[in-house]
């Protein structure tokens, strides 16, 4: 029994190739049932996202055959010549395959380390495979372990902590100033794409109201309409400044649009705590002098970028700790899987031994003389099984150790030779 | 009784170490252990106060030992209430060091010696401890306001300097610090008002004067006015953020300095 994995990701293949090889949801159940042909592959699973396609299978036919089958399946299904995939596919067997899956689920292999989407996608892929009936004993254990490892890494390391995109940093800053965003108003000055993006993540984070202002009023109204906010005249935005808690600025203006003098007055008339100013325009549109005003917190693009960079570095450092956990978990899982594999061997050893014990008992039965029926059953139900258990115990321990070293078959052959009556 | 103090001090010491470490550590460690230690220490602390009350047949509010024990107990309670309301775990790191110091003072101080005040009627025996207890709880609240103010200033500094160290992620938001500070100050003010009323009433009932113009009384009224002004400016002038945080810090420092000053001038409760 082998676990095999074939796949490609943003690290090995360009986007257009990933697109061609993706298994969209409508294709998935058909693909899964064709993948698990029961001859080479008896259990199969497909993880397909915009960044990766992974085929994972358990094969009774041997590792090489399994890998070739998966690679061929990938080409066949998408009607591609095998040569086009040369150099883009990676192939992993057993503990390497397990490790790769654990790393993927824990988001260590993601473009942004620690992003949370991938875990959901892996869960979904597992659910699809369950529905398609292509999950058995091996893959179900593998997937359960993968999901729990991912969870463990999330809680025990900092790979998923602290935001790593400009928009999410803006949200984090807002939360560190206001805590509760549900009664906060966002003022968007300038209706560029970046500004809209940042405003949207704030709205997604639960802010109450959006006010948009732009030199061309139509565009302001368009965005305001999209997020059920209000639009105000560009010349009049200082009038609404006191009601804004978060000011996002992203106009194409070459000069400062928001100046300290007017802002100071606005803050005074506001009569409540701090205001967050985020300037994502280049060149800057908010006068840096604003930062020295009491209760005004100003962040420009460089500030946000440097926070992002620090956080990414932190995550990468934490990822190294995660790798150690993965290493240990892979070892644990492989051992668990192998000791499961010796189940049939254990039964065989016990059967061989009980054959010997029973035949010896029958041969020497007469010497025991007359026995009561109770004594007879005691021998058959208690004594003989106890003898078999006692005798087989050291052998099973050896078997388990051999399995851990990856040599259960050799050990079983040895044992058969030792026990054989003939 | 000795063993109780050992348990109390060990428990609080553990909380102090864990909460300060948690502020700067990448990952919180021993959170549950510290929580268990806190529960045990608080249990022992409460038990000590109860036992002392039962054995003396009065409220445990006489002398340095009992007052320190009661004040530190009030501080733990206020911190727990603040945590329940605002989930600000970081507050512990700012309050518990003082809890530990006060508990240590209580542990090494001798119990009340000499003649404990005799009351001529039941009203007086209720009023005096109520007066002292309410004032101590008021100071506990003001200290929480102070701690939240300090958190505000640190967090604001992090934001202004744009240097986001771990402490930035551990401290609550500015709004939360502000909310804790203003609520603690309001509660403290109410407790203090009640405490002063109790004191005046006691004074009248015992000495038949409302006002003796002693240093402690003048000090109490000045403190009361100070907090009244701060609270009033917060409400009416929309005085929030940094200024309010600084006010909660400065006013508390003034209160403590003058309290110590008054005590050393030879007048005690």
Convert the pLDDT of each residue in A164-185 to its tens digit: 888 888 999 999 999 899 999 9
Rg for chain A (alpha carbons), in Å? Answer: 33
Which residue, among A253, A242, A250, A248, has the nearest Cα to A276 in the 3D structure? A248
Can you tell me the mean pLDDT for A156-167? 86
Q: Do B160 and A291 touch (CB under 8 A)?
A: yes
Q: Do A295 and B241 touch (CB under 8 A)?
A: yes
List CB contacts of A38: < 8 A, sequence separation 6 or more: none
Q: Is the pLDDT of residue A159 over 60?
A: yes
Q: What region does A268 belong to: left with phi over 0, alpha with psi -120 to 50, or beta?
A: alpha
Give the closest-approach CA distance of A309 to chain B in angstroms: 12
Q: Is the pLDDT of residue A132 over 70?
A: yes
Which residue, among B125, B106, B107, has the nearest Cα to B116 in the 3D structure? B125
Q: For the purposes of burial, counting CB atoms within 10 Å of the CB of A112, is it exposed (0-12), middle (13-18) or buried (19 or more)?
A: middle
* Active site residue ranges of A: 50
Q: Say how many C-beta atoms besides its own lie within 10 A of residue A367's C-beta.
A: 6
Residue pair B267/B216 in contact (Cβ under 8 Å)? The answer is: yes
Residue in this structure with the two tokens 């005691």, named with its chain if needed: A378
Query: Which of B160, B173, B240 is the closest to A178 by Cβ?
Result: B173
For residue B164, the chain A residues in CB contact (below 8 A) are: 307, 310
CA distance between the termini of chain A: 31
Model confidence band, residue A195 (pLDDT cutoffs 50, 70, 90) = confident
> Whole-number mean pLDDT of chain A?
89
Q: Residues 169..198 of A with a Cβ closer than 8 Å to B: which? A: 173, 175-180
List CB contacts of B50: < 8 A, sequence separation 6 or more: none
Q: Is the pLDDT of residue B158 over 50?
A: yes
Q: How far apart are CA A27 and CA A38, in angstroms?
A: 20
Kindly tell me the sign of the dihedral angle through the C-alpha atoms of B165, B167, B171, B177: negative
Give the closest-approach CA distance of B166 to chain A in angstroms: 10
Question: Is A295 at the interface with chain B, CB within 8 A?
Answer: yes
Q: How far apart are CA A371 and CA B148, in angstroms?
A: 86
Model confidence band, residue A47 (pLDDT cutoffs 50, 70, 90) = very high
Q: How far apart are CA B97 and CA B111, in angstroms?
A: 23
Residue pair B177/B152 in contact (Cβ under 8 Å)? The answer is: yes
- Strand-pairing partners, residue A188, are A212, A248
**ipTM > 0.95 (yes/no):** no
Q: Is the pLDDT of residue B115 over 60?
A: no
**Where are the alpha helices (H) located in A106-192, listed in sequence order?**
117-132, 137-156, 166-178
Residue in this structure with the two tokens 């502020």, named with its chain if needed: B23
**Consecutive H or E run containing A58:** strand A52-59
Query: Which of A295, A303, A318 is the closest to B242 by Cβ?
Result: A295
């Amino acid at each position: 029994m082998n676990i095999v994995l074939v796949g490609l990701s943003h690290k090995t293949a360009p986007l257009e190739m990933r697109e061609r090889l993706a298994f969209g949801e409508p294709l998935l159940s058909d693909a899964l049932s064709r993948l698990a042909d029961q001859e080479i592959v008896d259990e199969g699973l497909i993880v397909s996202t915009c960044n990766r396609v992974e085929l994972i299978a358990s094969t009774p036919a041997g590792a090489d055959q399994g890998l070739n089958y998966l690679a061929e399946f990938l080409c066949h299904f998408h009607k591609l010549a095998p040569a086009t995939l040369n150099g883009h596919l990676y192939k992993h067997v057993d503990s390497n395959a397990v490790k790769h899956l654990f790393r993927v689920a824990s988001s260590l292999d993601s473009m942004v380390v620690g992003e949370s989407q991938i875990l959901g996608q892996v869960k979904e892929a597992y659910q699809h495979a369950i529905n398609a009936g292509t999950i058995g004993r091996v893959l179900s254990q593998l997937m359960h372990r993968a999901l729990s490892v991912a969870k463990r890494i999330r809680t025990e390391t900092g790979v998923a902590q602290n935001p790593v995109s400009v928009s999410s940093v803006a949200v984090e800053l807002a939360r560190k100033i206001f805590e509760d965003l549900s009664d906060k108003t966002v003022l968007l000055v300038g209706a560029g794409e970046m500004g809209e993006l940042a405003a949207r993540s704030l709205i997604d984070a639960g802010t109450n109201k959006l006010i948009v202002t732009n030199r061309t009023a139509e565009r302001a109204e368009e965005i305001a309409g999209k997020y059920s906010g209000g639009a105000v005249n560009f010349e009049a935005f200082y009038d609404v400044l006191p009601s804004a808690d978060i000011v996002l600025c992203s106009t194409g203006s070459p000069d400062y649009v928001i100046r300290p003098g007017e802002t100071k007055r606005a803050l005074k008339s506001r009569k409540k705590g701090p205001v967050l100013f985020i300037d994502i325009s280049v060149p800057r549109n908010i006068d840096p002098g604003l930062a020295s005003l009491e209760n005004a917190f100003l962040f420009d693009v460089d500030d946000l970028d440097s926070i992002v960079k620090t956080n990414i570095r932190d995550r990468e450092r934490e990822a190294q700790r995660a790798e150690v956990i993965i290493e240990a978990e892979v070892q644990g899982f492989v051992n668990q899987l192998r000791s499961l594999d010796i189940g049939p061997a254990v039964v065989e050893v016990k059967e061989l031994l009980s054959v010997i014990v029973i035949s010896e008992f029958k041969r020497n039965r007469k010497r025991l003389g007359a026995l009561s029926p109770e004594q007879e059953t005691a021998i058959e139900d208690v004594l003989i099984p106890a003898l078999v258990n006692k005798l087989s115990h050291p052998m099973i321990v050896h078997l388990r150790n051999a399995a851990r070293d990856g040599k259960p078959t050799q050990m079983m052959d040895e044992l058969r030779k030792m026990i054989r009556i003939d | 009784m000795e063993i109780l103090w050992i348990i109390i001090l060990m428990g609080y010491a553990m909380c102090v170490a864990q909460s300060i470490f948690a502020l700067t550590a990448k990952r919180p460690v021993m959170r549950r252990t510290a929580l268990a230690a806190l529960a045990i220490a608080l249990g022992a602390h409460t038990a000590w106060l109860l036992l002392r009350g039962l054995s003396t047949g009065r409220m445990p509010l006489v002398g340095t030992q009992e007052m320190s024990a009661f004040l530190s107990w009030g501080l733990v309670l206020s911190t727990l209430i603040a945590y329940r309301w605002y989930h600000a775990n970081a507050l512990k790191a700012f309050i518990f060091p003082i809890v530990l110091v006060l508990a240590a003072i209580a542990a090494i101080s001798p119990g009340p010696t000499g003649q404990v005040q005799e009351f001529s009627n039941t009203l007086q025996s209720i009023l005096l401890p109520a007066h002292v207890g309410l004032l101590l709880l008021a100071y506990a609240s003001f200290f929480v306001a102070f701690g939240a103010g300090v958190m505000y200033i640190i967090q604001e500094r992090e934001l202004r300097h744009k240097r986001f160290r771990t402490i930035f992620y551990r401290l609550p938001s500015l709004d939360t610090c502000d909310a804790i500070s203003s609520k603690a100050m309001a509660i403290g003010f109410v407790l203090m008002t009640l405490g002063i009323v109790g004191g005046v009433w006691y004074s009248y009932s015992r000495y038949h004067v409302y006002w003796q113009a002693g240093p402690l009384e003048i000090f109490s009224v000045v403190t009361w006015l100070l907090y009244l002004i701060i609270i009033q400016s917060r409400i009416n002038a929309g005085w929030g953020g940094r200024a309010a945080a600084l006010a909660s810090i400065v006013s508390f420092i003034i209160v403590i300095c003058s309290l110590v000053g008054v005590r050393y001038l030879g007048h005690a409760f």
